[in-house]
Structure 1
Amino acid sequence: MSACNLVAEATWKEIESKRSVTDDHLWTLHFIFGKNFERATRIVDQRGVKKISGEPSRRSIFQVMGESRRKEEYLCFPENFCSCYSFFYDVVNRTEQLCCKHQLAARLAASLGAYSEVKVSDEELAMLLSKL
C-alpha cells in the first residue's frame, strides 16, 4: 500500500470514529485526491448517496448520483469498484487516479453516516448486482 493510501485510510478511520470532518481532514483528502474529492463533497452535500442493503444478509452496495444533467446513478463499492466510465478509464486503464469521485462520495458518506438507506430483499440486491 502506498504512503498516500496509508494516509488516506488513517484519515477515513479518524472521520469514522468522530463522525465529523475537520479542516485538516478536508485538506489531507483534497491533497491526495484533488478535484475528485471536491466533486465528491458536492455529491454528499446534495444527499446523492444511497446505501442499498439486502435483507436478511445485510450485504450492501452504494448507489451514487452522478453530476451530469442526466443524473445517472452508479453502483459503487467505495474501496474497490464503481460502475462509472471514469473508474474504468482513469483508475483502471490509465492509473491516473486512485479512485473516482463516486467512490470518494460513498466513502465520505459512509464515514459520516450521511447517506439514505434503502432496504431490499437479497434477491433484489442480487438482481441489481447482476446488471454490473
Structure 2
Amino acid sequence: MTQYFTKDQIDGKEFRQCFHLYASDGFVSNDSQLRYIMRSLGCCPTVAETKGYIKKFGNNIDFAKFLEIIHLEEQKPDPVQEISKAFSNFQSRGFIHKSELAALLTSFGEKMGKEEISVIFRAMKIEGEIVPIAKITQYLQ
C-alpha cells in the first residue's frame, strides 16, 4: 500500500476518505464504481481502462489494490496535455471547423455521440462553424 505513496500522500490527497465513502464495504466490485471513485479523485480513466483494472485485479478491489491502480493511473500522460498536443496541428491557423472537431470526437478514443458533442459545443458557447483552438484548450482546463 505505501509502496508508491507516503501516509501523508494517502491521507492528504484524500485517497482513503474517497475510497471508503464510495466503497463502504471496503471493496470496489465493478468497473463503474471504480471509474466513479477514480474520477472523484481527478483521474480520467476510460471505460476500457477500468474494465481492464477489474480484469487484472478482480472484482474485490481493496484499498491496497486501489492504491496500485491510482499509481498506474498517475503514470499515464496528462490527458489535457495530450489533447492540446493533438490540436497543435490546427494551431497555425488558430481554429478548427466545427464539423472537423465533431468528426474527431466521433472517430477517436472513446467515441462520443451527437448529443454529447452538442452538449460540449453548448458548454463552450460555440457560435457559427469556427472553433478557436484557444477556446478548446480553455474549456479543457
Q: Tell me which interval the TM-score lies in, with the shorter structure as reference length.
A: under 0.3
Higher strand proportion: 1
Structure with the bigger RCO (C-alpha within 8 Å, sep 6+) is 1
TM-score normalised by L of structure 2: 0.25
Higher helix proportion: 2
> Which of 1 and 2 has greater Rg?
2
